[in-house]
C-alpha cells in the first residue's frame, strides 16, 4: 500500500480497526472501515447542514428585527426538514433546450465536491478519515473543482442568466484561489507540513499559551484575508455575484427545480461549513482548546477528549461571522470584487509569503523547532545538517 | 487487490475519456471528457505513490487550465459542420503525429526495460525515496541539484507572462476608469444638496 493509505485511522477507532483487521484480513476490513468512516462523516454533516440553514435564517432574521422560521416544530427547528420534504415532492423540470445529461450532472458535481474535502479534516487528534501527507493540497484541489458544478449548470441550462452567472463564477473562483494559495503557503511554512493534523499540532501554544496561528502578528492578517477570500470562494454574501437576484434572477440556479435545486442548496452550505472548519483548523488551533491549559483538553474527571467540542464550537463561531456578514454587508460590484482579488489580496499575500519565510529563515525556526513536528526523524536530522542551521 | 482494482478502474477510465474527448461532437463535451481524463490520471499517480504530482495535476490542470479552456470554448460560437469538413484532408497528418508519439512511447519504455534509465522500478512503480515524503524529495532535488534549471524555467515563465500582458494591453483614452478609493470615500453631504425651488422654476444642475 502506498503512503496514501498507510497512516489510516478511522475517527480514532484504532482498536476496533485492528480487531477487524485480524478477523477479516486487511483489504475487506479496510474497505468496511473506510465506508463506515465516510458514512460517519457524511450523515452528521447533512444533519448539520440542515440545522445550519435554520441557524442562518434565524441569525439573519434577528439582525433584521424579524422572527425568522418559528412555525414548524419547537422554535421552528424542523423548518429545514419541511423544506427538504417540499422540494423532494416537487416535479423536476428540465428545460427542453437544455443539455439534459450535463444539466442533471452539474448539481451532483457541486454536492459531491462539497462532501469530498471533509475526508482530510481532523476532528480530533488522529480522528481523520484520510491522514494523507498532502492534506492541504487535497483541500485546494477539491475546492478548485467546485467551480465546475456552477459552470456546467450555466452552460447546460442554455439560458442567458445562468450563462452570465457561470462566466462570473469561473473568473471569481480562479481569482481568489490564487491568493488563498499564497495564504496557505504562509501557514505551511510555519507548520512545516501539509498534513492538516500536523498543522493543528504545530499551533499548540504557538504564542505563549494561546493555541493558534491567529495570535501570531505575522499570520493574523493572513487569517483576515483567508476569511474574506473564503467568502468569495464559496460565493457567499457580500460576494454572491453568481446568484445576484437583482441582476441575474437566481444565477446558475435559475432553471433548476426540485431535488436538483436542493442539491445546490445543500452543497453551498456544506462548502460554507468546510470554509469555517478550515478557518478553525488552519488558524485557530482546530480541535485544540483556545488556551494550552491541561484541564481544557478533557472533560473534568474523565479521560474523554474535548477535541470534537472545541472544533464544533469554532466552526459555529465562524458560521456566525459568515451569517453576520451576509446580514449586514451590501453586495460588491463585480469590478470591485476583481480589484480586491488581484490588486489587493494577491500582492499583499505574496508580500506576506516573503515576510514569513524571511522571518523563519532569520530566526532559524526549523533548527530549534520541536522535533516531534516532523513526520520522521530523518527530516529533522537533514535540516540540522543541511547548512541552513548554523 | 484493492490497488489492482483501482488501477484497472482508473486506467480504463483514462483511456475511455481520452477517446470520448476526441470523438465528442460538441467541443464543451470534449473539454469535460478531458477533465475526467486528467482526474483519473491523478488517481493513477496516487497509486504509484506520487501523491504530490497527483495533487498538482488536479490543482493546476483541472482547477485552473481546464477552467479557462472551458470558459473560452463555451463562449466560442463554433460551426460544427465546418469543423468536421477538414477531417479527411488532415487525416494523414494526424496519423503521422500519432505514429511519432507511439514510437516515442515505445522508445521510452524500451530504454526503461533495457535499464538505460534509472527512473523507477521496471515494473512501473516509482522509486521509493527512503524516509522522505514526496514533497521533501522533490523540494530537495529542485532546490539543490536542479536549482539553476528551476530558476531559469521560472524566469522564462515570467517573461512569457509579461510578454502576454504587453501584447494584449492597450491604452484607451476614451474610457473613464473607476477610482475605487474616491468612490468609497464619498459621503452623502458631498453627493447631495437640499434645494427649495420656487413654484414653476426648475433647478440648475
Q: Please write the tens of the pLDDT for every residue from A172-218.
A: 888 888 889 899 999 988 888 888 888 888 888 778 888 888 888 88
Judge if B8 and B70 occupy the same domain: yes
Nearest to A174 among B67, B133, B134 (CB): B67
A346 touches B at CB < 8 Å: no
Instruction: Please give, rounded to a whole number of angstroms, the shortest distance from the CA of A334 to a CA of chain B.
Output: 12
Same domain, B108 and B137: no
Q: Which domain holds residue B105?
A: 81-117
On whether both B106 and B148 belong to a single domain, the answer is no
Q: Are residues B2 and B57 in the same domain?
A: yes
Query: What's the mean pLDDT when you consider all of chain A?
Result: 82
One-character DSSP codes across A206-265: -BTTB-SGGGSTTTHHHHHHHHHHHHHHTT-TTS-GGG-HHHHTTGGGTT--HHHHHHHH
Q: Are both B41 and B98 inside the same structural domain? A: no
- Pair B71, B100 in one domain: no
User: How many Cα atoms sit within 13 Å of A34 on the Cβ side?
Assistant: 15
Using an 8 Å CB-CB cutoff, list chain A residues near B10.
Answer: none
Judgement on whether residues B110 and B162 belong to the same structural domain of the protein? no
Which residues lie across from B126 on neighbouring strands? Answer: B120
Is the same domain home to B3 and B67? yes
A4: confidence class by pLDDT, cuts 50, 70, 90: very low
Q: Which residues of B touch A102 (CB under 8 A)?
A: 29, 32
Q: CA-CA distance, B35 to B17, in Å (whole number)?
A: 9
CA neighbours closer than 13 Å in the CB half-sphere of residue A283: 25
DSSP A108-164: HHHHHHHHHGGGG--SBTTB-S---TTHHHHHHHHHHHHHHHHHHHHHHTTSHHHHH
CATH of residue B17's domain is: 1.20.120.1200
Query: Which residues from chain B sit within 8 angstroms of residue A144, using beta carbons?
Result: 58-59, 62-64, 67
Nearest-by-CA chain A residue for B181 = A336
Across A58-62, average pLDDT: 91
Give the pLDDT of residue B2: 75
Which pLDDT band holds residue A386 (cuts at 50, 70, 90)? Answer: low
A256 pLDDT above the threshold of 80: yes
DSSP summary character for residue A288: S
- In this structure, is residue B63 part of a structural domain? yes
What is the percentage of chain B residues whose pLDDT exceeds 70?
87
Spatial separation of the C-alpha atoms in residues B138 and B22, rounded to whole Å: 34
Rounded to a whole number of angstroms, the distance between the first and last alpha carbons of chain A is: 38
Q: Is residue B51 part of a domain?
A: yes
At residue B79, the pLDDT reads 62
Residue A295 binned pLDDT confidence (cut-offs 50, 70, 90):
confident
Query: In the predicted model, is pLDDT for residue B46 greater than 50?
Result: yes
Smallest CA–CA distance, residue B107 to chain A, in Å, is 28
Number of domains in chain B: 3
B30 touches chain A (CB under 8 A): no
Chain B touched by A6 (CB under 8 Å): no
Residue B98 lies in a domain: yes
| A97-110 pLDDT, tens digit each | 888 888 889 999 98
Q: Count CA within 13 A, CB hemisphere, residue A175.
A: 24
Instruction: Kindly state whether residue B153 falls inside one of the protein's structural domains.
Output: yes
> Pick from B70, B75, B135: which is nearest to A134 by CB?
B135
Residue B192 located in a structural domain: no
- Tell me what pLDDT residue B161 has: 92
Q: What are the angstrom distances between the C-alpha of A115 and each of A3, A32, A268, A342, B19?
A: 23, 19, 10, 29, 29
Give yes or no for B143 touching A (CB within 8 A): no
Q: pLDDT category, A9, cuts 50, 70, 90?
A: very low
Mean of all residue pLDDT scores within chain B:
82
Q: Which of A:109-138 have CB within 8 Å of B?
A: 132-134, 137-138
CB-CB: which of A3, A173, A336 is closest to B49? A3
Average pLDDT over residues B25-53: 87
Q: What percent of chain A has pLDDT over 70?
A: 87
Residues linked to residue A124 through DSSP beta bridges, in sequence order: A127
Angle at CA of residue A32, ends A268 and A128, nearest 5°:
50
Task: Report the pLDDT averaged over residues A31-56.
Answer: 87
Q: B7 and B69 share a domain? A: yes
Q: Which of A138, A144, A330 to mutate: most B Cβ within 10 Å? A: A144
Q: What is the DSSP letter of A341?
A: I
If you measure CA to CA, which chain B residue comes closest to A27? Answer: B2
Interface test with B, best of A99, A145, A167 (most B CBs within 10 A): A145
Of A56-70, A121-135, A351-365, B89-103, which gets the smallest average pLDDT?
A121-135
Whole-angstrom distance, CA of residue A58 vs CA of residue A324? 11
pLDDT-based confidence at residue B13 (cuts at 50, 70, 90): very high
Q: Is A304 helix (H, G, I), strand (E, B) or coil?
A: coil
Is position B123 within any domain?
no
- How far does CA A31 lie from the centroid of its chain? 25
pLDDT over 70 (residue B117)? no
Cβ of residue B133 closer than 8 Å to a chain A Cβ: yes
**For position A322, what pLDDT does the model report?**
92
B59 is a domain residue: yes
- Among the residue ranges A266-270, A317-321, B49-53, B83-87, the one predicted with the least confidence is B83-87
A347-361 mean pLDDT: 90
Is residue B4 domain-resident?
yes
B177 touches chain A (CB under 8 A): no
Enter the pTM of the model. 0.81
Q: How far apart are CA B40 and CA B17, in angstroms?
A: 9
Residues B155, B97 within the same domain:
no
B120 strand-pairing partners: B126
10 Å CB burial of residue A123 (0-12, 13-18, 19+) is: buried
Calculate the alpha carbon distances from A17 to A28, A35, A196 in Å. 11, 12, 22
Using the predicted structure, report yes or no on whether residue A284 has a pLDDT greater than 80.
Answer: yes
**In the predicted structure, residue A227 carries a pLDDT above the cut 60:** yes
Contacts of B180 in chain A (CB under 8 A): 336, 339
The yes-or-no verdict on residue A383 having pLDDT over 90 is no
- On whether both B108 and B138 belong to a single domain, the answer is no
> What's the pLDDT score for residue B81?
61
CA-based nearest distance B9→chain A, Å: 16
Q: Residues B1, B65: one domain?
A: yes
The pLDDT of residue A1 is 32
pLDDT at A350: 92
Amino acid at each position: 500500500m502506498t503512503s496514501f493509505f498507510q497512516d489510516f485511522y478511522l475517527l480514532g477507532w484504532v482498536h476496533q480497526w485492528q480487531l477487524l483487521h485480524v478477523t477479516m484480513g486487511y483489504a475487506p476490513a479496510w474497505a468496511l472501515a473506510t465506508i463506515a468512516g465516510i458514512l460517519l462523516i457524511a450523515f452528521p454533516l447533512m444533519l448539520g447542514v440542515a440545522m445550519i440553514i435554520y441557524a442562518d435564517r434565524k441569525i439573519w432574521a434577528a439582525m433584521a428585527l424579524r422572527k425568522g422560521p418559528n412555525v414548524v416544530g419547537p422554535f421552528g427547528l424542523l423548518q429545514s426538514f419541511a423544506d427538504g420534504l417540499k422540494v423532494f415532492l416537487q416535479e423536476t423540470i428540465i428545460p427542453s433546450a437544455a443539455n439534459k445529461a450535463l444539466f442533471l450532472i452539474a448539481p451532483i458535481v457541486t454536492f459531491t465536491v462539497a462532501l469530498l474535502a471533509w475526508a482530510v479534516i481532523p476532528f480530533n487528534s488522529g480522528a481523520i478519515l484520510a491522514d494523507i501527507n498532502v492534506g492541504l493540497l487535497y483541500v485546494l484541489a477539491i475546492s478548485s473543482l467546485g467551480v465546475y458544478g456552477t459552470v456546467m449548470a450555466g452552460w447546460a441550462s442554455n439560458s442567458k442568466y445562468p450563462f452570465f452567472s457561470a462566466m462570473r463564477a469561473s473568473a471569481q473562483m480562479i481569482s481568489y484561489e490564487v491568493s488563498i494559495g499564497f495564504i496557505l503557503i504562509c501557514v505551511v511554512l510555519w507548520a512545516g507540513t501539509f498534513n492538516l493534523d500536523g498543522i493543528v499540532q504545530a499551533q499548540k501554544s504557538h504564542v505563549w499559551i494561546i493555541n493558534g496561528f491567529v495570535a501570531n502578528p505575522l499570520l493574523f492578517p493572513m487569517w483576515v484575508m483567508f476569511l474574506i477570500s473564503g467568502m468569495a470562494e464559496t460565493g457567499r454574501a457580500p460576494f454572491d455575484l453568481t446568484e445576484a437576484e437583482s441582476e441575474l434572477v437566481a444565477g446558475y440556479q435559475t432553471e433548476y427545480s426540485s431535488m436538483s435545486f436542493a442539491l445546490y442548496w445543500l452543497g453551498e452550505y456544506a462548502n460554507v461549513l468546510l470554509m469555517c472548519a478550515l478557518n478553525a483548523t488552519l488558524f485557530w488551533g482546530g480541535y485544540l482548546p483556545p488556551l494550552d491549559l491541561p484541564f481544557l483538553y478533557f472533560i473534568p474527571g474523565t479521560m474523554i477528549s474535548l477535541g470534537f467540542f472545541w472544533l464544533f464550537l469554532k466552526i459555529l463561531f465562524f458560521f456566525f461571522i459568515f451569517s453576520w456578514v451576509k446580514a449586514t454587508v451590501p453586495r460588491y460590484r463585480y469590478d470591485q470584487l476583481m480589484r480586491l482579488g488581484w490588486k489587493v489580496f494577491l500582492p499583499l499575500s505574496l508580500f506576506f509569503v516573503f515576510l514569513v519565510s524571511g522571518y523563519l529563515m532569520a530566526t532559524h525556526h526549523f533548527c530549534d523547532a520541536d522535533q516531534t513536528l516532523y513526520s520522521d526523524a530523518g527530516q529533522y536530522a537533514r535540516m540540522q545538517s543541511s547548512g541552513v542551521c548554523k | 487487490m484493492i490497488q489492482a482494482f483501482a488501477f484497472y478502474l482508473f486506467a480504463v477510465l483514462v483511456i475511455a475519456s481520452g477517446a470520448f474527448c476526441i470523438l465528442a461532437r460538441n467541443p464543451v463535451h470534449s473539454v469535460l471528457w478531458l477533465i475526467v481524463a486528467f482526474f483519473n490520471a491523478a488517481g493513477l499517480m496516487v497509486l504509484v505513490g506520487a501523491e504530490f504530482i497527483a495533487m498538482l495535476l488536479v490543482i493546476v490542470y483541472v482547477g485552473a487550465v481546464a477552467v479557462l479552456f472551458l470558459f473560452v470554448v463555451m463562449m466560442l460560437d463554433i460551426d460544427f459542420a465546418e469543423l468536421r469538413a477538414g477531417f479527411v484532408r488532415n487525416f494523414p497528418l494526424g496519423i503521422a503525429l500519432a505514429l511519432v508519439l507511439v514510437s516515442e512511447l515505445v522508445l521510452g519504455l524500451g530504454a526503461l526495460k533495457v535499464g538505460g534509465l534509472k527512473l523507477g522500478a521496471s515494473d512501473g512503480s516509482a522509486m521509493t525515496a527512503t524516509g522522505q515524503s514526496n514533497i521533501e524529495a522533490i523540494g530537495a532535488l529542485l532546490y539543490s541539484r536542479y536549482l539553476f534549471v528551476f530558476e531559469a524555467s521560472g524566469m522564462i515563465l515570467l517573461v512569457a507572462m509579461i510578454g502576454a500582458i504587453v501584447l494584449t494591453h492597450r491604452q484607451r483614452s476614451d474610457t473613464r476608469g473607476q477610482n475605487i478609493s474616491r468612490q468609497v470615500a464619498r459621503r452623502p453631504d458631498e453627493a447631495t444638496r437640499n434645494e427649495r425651488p420656487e413654484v414653476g422654476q426648475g433647478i440648475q444642475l
